[in-house]
Structure 1
Amino acid sequence: MARPREFDETAAVESAMHAFWDRGYEATSTQDLCAATGLGRSSVYNTFTSKKALFQRTLTHYSAQGLAGRKALLDGPGPTAERIAAMFGAVIDEELEHGRRGCLVVNTLAELGVPDDEIGAALRNDTEKQLALLGACAREGVLDGSLPAGRDPADVAEFLLSTISGLRLMSRRGASREAMHAVVGLTLAAVTR
């Protein structure tokens, strides 16, 4: 009879996510994952089957957390432009308060591109969900008048997501809070006028 697992799988995924986030996919060894999760090598492989499968799980976990937080901000009260500004403020605060690590998804895209496998599928899924969320917000903005009539919500979503990614990269290279807020100001001016 197999022994029952004696660890929290979600906590292990969370710990592995931080290891990958700190080092990147290629530079994170199985030993790094064992140290991060507190699991032995056999437990890592028996539970997650491979480093690649565990990484895909961490990307999915990271994406779900990020989308939930972003959705809470964008679905909040007030005009759309103010909610978008709050979202950008949260991105900057996260970066400066949590070690300027950037975004796990952006970092992975820079490291691996979009491979034709489960990792690529997780990256594409995150992008699609981000664009859908931002596009819905942009549609609301056109309806409530905080974004100009005739503005294409899909184009606005791409622009906003590109700015979020750019802010994450700015943070990794050590840009100041003021520099990041200046980019946000230019972005908001471009989107709302």
Structure 2
Amino acid sequence: MGRPRQFDERQAVAAACQAFWAKGYEATSTQDLCEATGLGRSSIYNTFTSKDHLFRRALGHYIDTMTARQIAILEEEGGSGLERIRALFAMLLEGELENRRLGRAIGCFTVNTLTEPVAETDPEVARLLAKDLERRLDAFRAVIARGQRDGSVRSSRDPAGLAWYLTSVIAGMRIASQAGADRSALEQIMAAGVDSLAH
């Protein structure tokens, strides 16, 4: 009978998530994963079988935690639709600035992954990314429609198109942050994106 594992698998996945998030799939080595998780190579491969499998677990962990947190803000009771959108943008902006303060201008794990070959070569990664995007677009469509009903979103454009617009603004804000944009510039990007819905 094998010995029981002496580590928390969930913590190992969370630690691997940070490593992949910072460097991407291609640039993250097995040694990087050992250092991030505190595990030896044999423990990593015995538990997760491959770098590919651990990456999928790490990406799933990121999606389950980060996307759920973002959607919770958009679905929160109270406040207008536009206020919910503004609150989400504010949270994302503070997250970017906090990463910068810690020396980790690493953007969004899912957006970063979309630019890597693994997004096209691994069907399970592609499925995770597509499902996550659809969840976020659904949440944006719902909160925009809510804003149109309560009058805070004055744009009469289709909520589906506006959901894509907000998703693009967020991606652009993250890239600007990685490129070194300061708080003032990021706040202006956020304000332009949100305020455009109110006119």
TM-score range, shorter chain: over 0.9
Give, in angstroms, the shift of residue 152 of structure 1. 1.2
Give, in angstroms, the shift of residue 17 of structure 1. 0.6
Give, in angstroms, the shift of residue 113 of structure 1. 6.8
Correspondence list, 1:108-123, <5 A: 108-112=113-117, 114-116=119-121, 117-123=123-129
Q: Percent identity of the aligned residues?
A: 46
- Pick closer, same or farther for the CA change 1:41–1:113 going to 2, 3 Å: closer
More moved, 71-80 vs 9-18: 71-80
- The answer to whether the Cα contact below 8 Å between 1:101 and 1:172 also exists between their aligned partners in 2 is yes
- The answer to whether the Cα contact below 8 Å between 1:17 and 1:59 also exists between their aligned partners in 2 is yes
Residue equivalent to 1:24: 24
More moved, 96-105 vs 68-77: 68-77
Correspondence list, 1:39-58, <5 A: 39-58=39-58
Q: CA RMSD in A?
A: 1.4
- The answer to whether the Cα contact below 8 Å between 1:52 and 1:119 also exists between their aligned partners in 2 is no
| Counterpart Cα distance in 1 of 2:24 and 2:157 | 37
| Counterpart Cα distance in 2 of 1:102 and 1:83 | 22
**Pairs aligned (count):** 193
| Counterpart Cα distance in 1 of 2:129 and 2:80 | 30
Residue equivalent to 2:198: 192
- The answer to whether the Cα contact below 8 Å between 1:142 and 1:151 also exists between their aligned partners in 2 is no
TM-score by length of 1: 0.94
TM-score by length of 2: 0.91
Code of the residue aligned with 2:28 in structure 1: it is: T
| Deviations, residues 123-161 of structure 1 (Å, cap 9, x unaligned) | 111111111111111111111111136431111111111
